[in-house]
Amino acid sequence: MSVLDRTCPPAKTASKIAVALGTAVIAAGTMTACTSGAGAGDDGKTTIGVTLNAASNPFFLAEGQAIEEAAAEKRVEVSVQYANADVAVQSDQIDTFIRQKVDSIIVDAVDSDGVGPALLRATQANIPVVAVDVTAIGADATVTSDNVQAGREACTYLVEQLGGSGKVAIVDGAAVSAIADRMQGCREAFDAHPGIEVAATQRADLTRDKAMNVASTILTANPDVDGFFGVNDPTAIGISLAAQQKGTDVKVVGVDGAKQLTDLLGKSSIIATSGQDPAQLGRSGLDIAVRLAGGEKVDSAPTLIPTVLVTADTITAYKTWG
């Protein structure tokens, strides 16, 4: 596996990112000098800028809290910001970190591709970036849940609970790698069972209210749907509420493992979720960010945190969050 040493990155790094982004030409010349020394600010403390997706989702709040707690233990300074699910806001936050000359940046991207130009500017400023939860173009290291596993296990459980046959629907989500990976895993599970028919796939925005509207539309057009996969817990909750409103008996699975969903297991149409560990994602991301800020080398291959299937039967063994 290749490794990255951001103490003084090679000139080709920024160029490669620019090509991936489809940008034109980076300013003439090569990046041979280190314009901002990584490792510590003027006061000797490592400073890390953190931009996470949205404070409206308990997953990101748990992630941010874990980063702040880990930073206190490591005696590094962090500034945790939330982007309100807006890639423009997140890009502005990254630009602010660049102007502040932080030693490294942690990003939970609103849009895996859309945040790329801002990360290119961080690279040009010699500031290493760690992507957590989802991948991001231009990041030097990545820590995510094993989202393919999460989608596959949730949908496999749904198939089992349907007896191996029936009509299902999927409520998709945002354009980030984590959601795409969950969709891949779920489709693998459905494709492995010829008795499963995917009646509809529609996109919401990872929120309960939007998912509720989308699921209601699906159920109106397909009243005989037996089960749903929601790509995150708020989506699954929205689906369950739509089914309740329509008086439809369906089985619903999701991904996340937040308390707002696990409290409903066995008490609603939601039968399972693939539980993540946002605190572990945050801690691992901070650890790598500190190491990169100090000029250490890290694996370029993504670090995958396993997920765990949570049902009414297994909830007592699961450490919930949110």
Same domain, 138 and 268: no
**Is 195 within a domain?**
yes
Same domain, 32 and 112: yes
Query: Domain residues for 170?
Result: 147-276+310-317
Same domain, 49 and 70: yes
Same domain, 111 and 202: no
How far apart (Å, rounded) are the C-alpha atoms in residues 256 and 82? Answer: 19
CB 140 within 8 Å of CB 14:
no
**Is 151 within a domain?**
yes
How far apart (Å, rounded) are the C-alpha atoms in residues 114 and 96? Answer: 17
Same domain, 87 and 231: no
The owner of tokens 């946002």 is 278
**Is 98 within a domain?**
yes
Same domain, 11 and 137: yes
The owner of tokens 């596993």 is 149
Q: What is the pLDDT along the chain (322 residues), one digit of tens a residue?
A: 333 333 333 333 443 344 344 433 333 232 222 233 344 555 678 999 999 999 988 899 999 999 999 999 999 999 999 999 999 999 999 999 999 999 999 999 999 999 999 999 999 999 999 999 999 999 999 999 999 999 999 999 999 999 999 999 999 998 889 999 999 999 999 999 999 999 999 999 999 999 999 999 999 999 999 999 999 999 999 999 999 999 999 999 999 999 999 999 999 999 999 999 999 999 999 999 999 999 999 998 999 999 999 999 999 999 999 8
Q: Residue 234 has what pLDDT?
A: 93
Same domain, 138 and 7: yes
**Is 96 within a domain?**
yes
How far apart (Å, rounded) are the C-alpha atoms in residues 152 and 272? Answer: 12
List for the chain the helix, strand, coil content (%; round to 5).
40, 20, 35
Instruction: State pLDDT tens for residues 38-84.
Output: 445 556 789 999 999 999 888 999 999 999 999 999 999 999 999 99
* Burial class for 268, CB neighbours closer than 10 Å (0-12, 13-18, 19+): middle
Same domain, 284 and 138: yes
The structural domain count of the chain equals 2
**Is 322 within a domain?**
no
Q: Residue 42 has what pLDDT?
A: 55
CB 298 within 8 Å of CB 288:
yes
- The domain that contains 267 carries what CATH number? 3.40.50.2300
Same domain, 169 and 262: yes
Same domain, 284 and 227: no
Written as one letter, the residue type at 101 is K
Instruction: State pLDDT tens for residues 162-194.
Output: 999 999 999 999 888 999 999 999 999 999 999
CB 45 within 8 Å of CB 76:
yes
pTM for the whole structure = 0.82
Same domain, 160 and 131: no
**Is 68 within a domain?**
yes
